[in-house]
Amino acid sequence: LVTSGVEVCVMSRTIKRGPLRDLKESWLQWLVCVVLVTLHTSITYLLPFPDCPTGYTGPGGFHDNASAIDCTGGVSQYIDRAIVGKDRLLPVRVLEQAYPVYDIPRRFDPDGLLGTLTTCFLLALAMQASRIFILFHRHLDRIMRLVCWASLQLLLGGVLCGFQQYDGPIPINRYLMSVSYVLVASGLAYIVLLGLYLCISVWNLWSGSP
């Protein structure tokens, strides 16, 4: 809703020309994305919260030698408890079934409010793919841009997580919708989209029907 609302409100009413017209059309949308990502990262890693290390984003419980037992999800848990209340979070028994190895002691919502900021960023990346198909009509133009966007996102996501599965400056974390996860997931989605586009529209190997 947020992403589509921004798109409708600030989208250009005239089609621009040039090889970068997709970016010229959407510079204000990307400015909003920068604000959202900056806000998400700042809150996640700089906002202190009671009895937990600032910037912690782990599962809590036995993780890291039980150094942050009650800090599941880091500041995301704190925000959810403060705004929606602990009674609306997932009960401990559900978390124990999903993550028995960590023995998580407190309620936690894996899809919390803080993650909506980077979810908007993920949707903006999806809209960029749509923008490529709307503004460019030659196969080569579309293919080149899909490859470039996929490569850029995967590279940035890899840098943020240190090209590691669990560690790095900003680890890949689906439940907290970390920036690295969003970039890697979107980059892989671009590759899938490119493969489908080649098979269906370029090489005519498949009609696209079930």
Is residue 210 included in any domain, yes or no? no
pLDDT in tens, 121-152: 999 999 999 999 988 999 999 999 999 999 99
Is residue 88 included in any domain, yes or no? yes
- Phi-psi region at 73: left, alpha or beta (left = phi > 0; alpha = psi -120 to 50): left
Is residue 208 included in any domain, yes or no? no
26 vs 172: CA distance, rounded Å: 27
Is residue 209 included in any domain, yes or no? no
Is residue 32 included in any domain, yes or no? yes
Return the structure tokens found at 17.
Answer: 């020309």
Return the structure tokens found at 116.
Answer: 């909506």
pLDDT of 93 higher than 60:
no
- Give pLDDT, residue 162: 94
**Average predicted confidence (pLDDT) for the chain:** 84
pLDDT band at 27 (very low <50, low <70, confident <90, very high): confident
Number of domains composing the chain: 1
119 vs 104: CA distance, rounded Å: 25
Predicted TM-score (pTM) of the model is 0.87
pLDDT in tens, 175-203: 889 999 999 999 999 999 999 999 999 99
For residue 38, what are the domain limits? 1-9+18-202
State the helix-helix crossing angle for 27-46 and 2-10, rounded to 10 degrees: 150
Return the structure tokens found at 141.
Answer: 């133009």
Is residue 190 included in any domain, yes or no? yes
